[in-house]
Amino acid sequence: MNPRPDPRTDGPSSAPSGAPFQVPGWVPGVHPAWLPPSAMRSVGRRRVQVHGDGPLVATVRAEVGQAQAHHGGAGDGPPDLVLALSPAEPPDAFAVSRAAGVTTVAAGDGAGLLYGLFHVARLGEAAFGEPFPPRAHRPAYERRMVQHWDNVDVHPVMGQVERGYAGGSLFWDDGALRADLTRAAAYARLLASVGINAVSVNNVNVHATEALLLTDRLGDVATLAEVFRPYGIRVHLSVSFAAPARDLGTADPLDPRVAAWWALATDRVYEAVPDFGGYVVKADSEGQPGPFAYGRSHADGANVLAAAIAPHGGVVHWRAFVYNHRQDWRDRGTDRARAAHDHFAPLDGQFLDNVVLQVKHGPIDFQAREPVSPVIAAMPGTRVAVELQVTQEYTGQQRHVCHLGPMWSEVLGFAPWGADGPAVAGIADGLTGVSNAGDDPFWTGHPLAQANLYAFGRLAWDPHLDPVGVLDEWIDLTFAPDTTADPGLLRGTLHAVMDDSWRTYERYTAPLGIGFMVRPGHHYGPDVDGYEYTPWGTYHFADRDGVGVDRSTATGTGFAGQYPPPWSRVYGSPRECPDELLLFFHHVPYGHVLHDGTTVIQHIYDTHFAGAEEVARMRRLWSRLPAGLVDPAVAERVAERLDEQLRSAREWRDQINTYFHRKSGVPDAHGRRIH
Ligand code: GCV
């Protein structure tokens, strides 16, 4: 072993006062999520040596010290575990091996050492059993990012956290930075334990107060950066494209004064936060300002910020969520699904290297079922990050169990050019996830929604991981089943409730990929026609004969043609289109026969009855867990939420079934009760 200095040693210290770094403690009354004391037991029971210097190595030492203090360590003698820096490994990466009774983590830098430590924690006792040769662990992406839609001020409609279902913000409280950032520090630790290394701390909708973070309130950003730094997480900021207009009266990206404004503002950011990560920008989207106001392209817009931040090593996450949110519902030719590709594909190759085009996984807006966005395959000359929504805006708002790992895995495994070509996981340059965490005592409102944040981090590290295996990791860390009276029952119940919950949610909500049908504004619960005659571009076009949007090239909006073959052909044909996306791509009669032999209308009835029944089963399984098998507070919160999920699933079932029964006049083949 040949330890080398931590490359981040020259960066800002994690303990400016010179005091040794303290691991954030467990906060009284707050659930420890997947890092309860038991999660570090296998490490804390052993003799451990940590070699190397630097802020993140100091964090590793503090983590080991805390684990040993909790679990008794193992006294003097040769080490059981050696954690050391090694020039053989690249940054962020580590290799683990076991030989002659010693488990060794060799890491490329302090961050890699930290990830290696948490990897050993995940392995538990298995890290200290039979010998094994070095196994290399390298993140798939350089940047693994969570983004917060947190407002600094409480927004009159969206509140403290836009689309937040877990209480208030971990960072902001009614206009101010929280005085007590203990939860934010514990959050940093949770994120780092799954490999996250970037966080944006304010909403992409940048309102007046939030705009000041870039200029007048940089001190707040610096304070947050201090909280995240000991866990190797860089802070990013959502900024308004119009920011220079306050001083210059213009934000035209080709105006040299605007370029100079961004350069100066960015220099000041880096004076305050030397390891600042970069900007996130929502431009020309849902009312946010952007380059279109000046007749400029989104490449012009992104590049002016990118040029300003490039000398500092920062990046610009530029969102591709650009569409007309004021369209006329009577106009069948305008298709929101097409918009991102129409705007961005022609700009491929025009973005500076440090621009990351951030593309939502589907072409509409985080629905429970959408095809993968065609933009991801259309930008070979552009860095693309896939944006996932961990917060469950359209998937039950953390009142419903909807475990999203399997959905994200499908997205990441989609091969735009067919099975012989690369998959999304290999095309993307990074993953970003909209966080589902807040100051709720369970972090995520629904305790089981913690698993979504966990799965996001793990898939951002390795998009090929099996989501069921990831769920097992989360169960082991969070519930320590082996220390309970009935490990099999606990694990089995969690899998039975969670594994298929995304598909269950899909069954009782909008059918066959049509999406939306939610109540306008807050987006919770069913309202089939809620968005049908609005300007938002999210329509189902149901009439007495049929339902769905014709997005074929032959007769529809042409969206299917934005995919390369074979998908342009497959999606373009009602015969070949996968059932689950049929109504996304085609308007078909209710009697249209699906690949499984049922008609569309019967499928709607069957899935809605089945989905609601499945939720009733989930509720029953949970209620059968004997008292004491899980923390009573968790058991009770989950039970409450399952009650609401069941009520809501029945509401969805009845509204959807009744709506389509009344429209079509077709009875249910099984004569079940439809209202
Ligand atoms: C932050 C959806 C949400 C908005 C969100 C927007 C976005 O439209 O409903 O709350 O705004 O997506 O991703 O920018």
Q: Is the CB of 322 under 6 A from ligand 1?
A: no
Q: Are strands 172-173 and 176-177 parallel, antiparallel or unpaired?
A: antiparallel
Q: Is the CB of 148 under 6 A from ligand 1?
A: no
pLDDT at 12 over 70: no
Going from the C-alpha of 329 to that of each of 220, 341, 535, the distances in angstroms are: 43, 21, 6
The secondary structure of residue 177, as a DSSP letter, is: E
Beta strands in 178-264 (DSSP E): 198-200, 234-238
The mean pLDDT of 406-418, rounded to a whole number, is 98
pLDDT confidence of residue 75: 84
Q: Which of 404, 370, 663, 460 is nearest to 543 (CA)?
A: 663
CA atoms within 13 A on the CB side of 88: 12
Whether 3 has a pLDDT exceeding 90, the answer reads no
Measured CA distances, 299 to 143, 273, 319, 343, 348 (Å): 21, 27, 11, 10, 9
Where does the pLDDT of residue 170 fall: very low under 50, low under 70, confident under 90, or very high at 90 and above? very high
> 297: CA distance to ligand 1 center in Å?
22
Predicted local confidence at residue 581, as pLDDT: 98
What torsion, rounded to 10 degrees, do the Cα atoms 561, 367, 655, 157 define?
Answer: -130
Give tens-digit pLDDT for 308-341: 999 999 999 999 999 999 999 999 989 999 999 9
* 15 or 19, higher pLDDT: 19
Residue 514: how many other CB atoms lie within 10 Å: 24
Instruction: State the Cα torsion 368-370-376-378 to the nearest 10°.
Output: -170
Q: Could you give the angle at which helices 256-272 and 218-228 cross, rounded to 10 degrees?
A: 50
What does the mean pLDDT of the chain come to? 96
Say whether pLDDT at 108 is over 80: yes
Name the H helices within 484-625. 487-498, 501-508, 567-572, 582-585, 600-623
pLDDT in tens, 128-148: 999 999 999 999 999 999 999
- Cα 522 to ligand 1 centre (Å): 11
pLDDT for position 7: 36
Nearest to 221 by CA among 283, 260, 268: 268
Residue 405, SS3? helix
Pocket test for ligand 1, best of 155, 240, 365, 531 (most atoms within 8 A of CB): 365
User: 387 an active-site residue?
Assistant: no
Q: Ligand 1, residue 389: give the atom nearest the CA.
A: 13
**Tell me, what's the pLDDT at 25?**
78
Indicate whether 493 pLDDT > 60.
yes
Answer yes or no: is the C-beta of 365 below 6 A from any ligand 1 atom.
Answer: yes
What is d(CA 353, CA 23) in angstroms, rounded to the nearest whole number?
36
Cα of 615 to ligand 1 centre, how many Å?
A: 28
Phi first, then psi, for residue 32 (nearest 5°) are -75, 5
pLDDT band at 220 (very low <50, low <70, confident <90, very high): very high
**What confidence score (pLDDT) does residue 458 get?**
98
> What ligand 1 atom has the least distance to the C-alpha of 158?
10
Is residue 125 among the annotated active site residues?
A: no
Pairing of strands 198-200, 234-238: parallel
pLDDT above 90 covers a percentage of the chain that reads: 95
171 close to 222: Cβ distance less than 8 angstroms: no
What b/e string do you get for 606-637 counting C-beta neighbours within 10 Å, with b at 16 or more? bbbbebbbbbeebbebbeebeeebbeeebbeb
What's the burial of 524, exposed, middle or buried (CB within 10 Å: 0-12/13-18/19+)? middle
**Rounded distance between C-alpha atoms, residue 592 and residue 396, angstroms:** 29
Give me the pLDDT at residue 315, please: 98
Question: Which of 359, 309, 140, 129 has its CA nearest to residue 120?
Answer: 129
Angle between helices 298-309 and 256-272 (to 10 degrees): 40
What pLDDT shows up at residue 18? 58
The model's confidence at residue 74, banded by pLDDT at 50, 70 and 90, is confident
pLDDT tens by residue, 350-363: 999 999 999 999 99
Q: Is 282 in the pocket of ligand 1 (CB under 6 A)?
A: yes
Q: What are phi and psi of 656, to 5 degrees?
A: -65, -50
Tally of CB atoms within 10 A around 208: 10
15: confidence class by pLDDT, cuts 50, 70, 90: very low
pLDDT over 70, % of the chain: 97
Active-site pick, 286, 328, 331, 545: 286
The stretch 471-493 carries a mean pLDDT of: 96
Task: Name the nearest CA neighbour of 450 among 489, 505, 498, 512.
Answer: 498
Q: Given a cut of 50, is residue 1 above it in pLDDT?
A: no
Q: Average pLDDT of 58-85?
A: 95
- Per-residue DSSP letters for 297-349? -HHHHHHHHHHHHGGGT-EEEEE-----TT--TT-TT--GGGHHHHHHGGGTT
Which conformational region is residue 421 in: left (phi greater than 0), alpha (psi within -120 to 50 degrees), or beta? beta
Q: Is the pLDDT of residue 6 over 80?
A: no
Protein residue with least CA distance to atom 11, ligand 1: 205
For ligand 1, atom 12, the nearest C-alpha belongs to 365
Closest ligand 1 atom, residue 149 Cα:
1
How many Cα atoms are found within 13 Å in the side-chain-facing hemisphere of 527? Answer: 15
Q: pLDDT at position 19, please?
A: 73
Could you read off the pLDDT of 616-631 as tens digits, one per residue?
999 999 999 999 999 9
Cα–Cα distance, 601 to 202 (Å, whole number): 43
Evaluate whether 15 touches 44 at the Cβ level (below 8 Å): no
Mean pLDDT to the nearest integer, 553-566: 98
- Report residue 2's pLDDT band, with 50, 70 and 90 as the boundaries: very low
Compute the distance from residue 1 Cα to the ligand 1 centre, in Å.
49
The Å distance, Cα 126 to ligand 1 centre, comes to 43
393 is catalytic: yes
Alpha-helix residue ranges (DSSP H) falling in 22-106: 41-44, 55-71
